[in-house]
Structure 1
Amino acid sequence: MTQTALILFGHGARDPQWAEPMQRVQRAIQAREPQRRVALAFLEFMEPTLEQCVAQLADEGVTSIRLAPMFMAQSGHLKRDLPLQVEAAARQHPQLSIHIAGAIGEAPGVIDAMAEHILALD
């Protein structure tokens, strides 16, 4: 049986409070789908790194990962760094299927929600 996990992937920051919005998204997903394994991973400055996160999920028996970049746009990190990290993780854990979604900030529903929020500031 395939066990699928979701990784919310963020840039990371030196300030640990930076991850709070991602943690809230993680909790919101878990509240909607308690059976789904949802993990956080970071490009730099914070842990777990993507490598650490993927290793942990593989140890838990996960066989499929959907990776959601929590970035506003397809930056250089998503075009270059993330694919290299995913390729390295796939070599380390060949039993895993890892699929990378597009940047969350480019999703039409997210763009609409940001526009509505900004217009409500008046």
Structure 2
Amino acid sequence: MATTDAANSGIVLFAHGARDARWAEPFERLADTLRSLRGGPRGGPVSLAFLELMSPDLPTAVAAQVASGCRAVTVVPVFFGQGGHIRQDLPVIVDQCRAAHPDIEIRCATPVGEDEAVIAAIAQYCLRQV
């Protein structure tokens, strides 16, 4: 596969979803922060996708990034751990996205809650609460 630069490399933040639209607000703030860190639209797209109860779903979000010119898409599960949705559901959905876009590199990161820096940041937050 050809190498890609940030402008044609997208990020999809993948979250569970909920019935209450307010539940997505922190994920929207995360996406906005990430867009800013990437330099705005010139830094490549950042979008949200949801497993259930909200839209867009992951195939729709990936298709939108591909339509906007992305040659690579990284799916970042915004989950704290690797439960059944991450171990069972997500690989199936990512494989569907890869089958739908065979010329696009679609990567999947580990859940954010598995990263040591995220754990350390949460621990620091907890310490500030006491």
Q: Normalising TM by the smaller chain, what interval?
A: over 0.9
Q: 1:6 aligns with which of 6, 11, 32?
A: 11
Which structure 1 residue ranges, 5 or more long, are not aligned? none
d(CA) in 1 for partners of 2:37 and 2:65?
21
Counterpart in the other structure of 1:120: 128
Deviating more after overlay: 39-48 vs 91-100: 91-100
Amino acid across the alignment from 1:110: V
Percent identity, aligned pairs only, is 37
Deviation readout 1:15-70 (Å, 9 max, x if unpaired): 11111111111111111112221010000000000011111112112110111100
Counterpart in the other structure of 2:99: 91
Q: 1:25 aligns with which of 27, 30, 35?
A: 30
d(CA) in 2 for partners of 1:96 and 1:70?
22
Amino acid across the alignment from 1:32: L
TM-score (normalised: structure 1): 0.95
Q: Does 1:71 align with 2:43?
A: no
Amino acid across the alignment from 2:30: V
**What's the RMSD between the two structures over aligned residues?**
1.1
Which structure 2 residue ranges, 5 or more long, are not aligned? none
- The aligned length equals 122
d(CA) in 2 for partners of 1:111 and 1:49?
27
Counterpart in the other structure of 2:48: 40
TM-score (normalised: structure 2): 0.89
Q: How far 1:89 sits from its partner (Å)?
A: 1.1
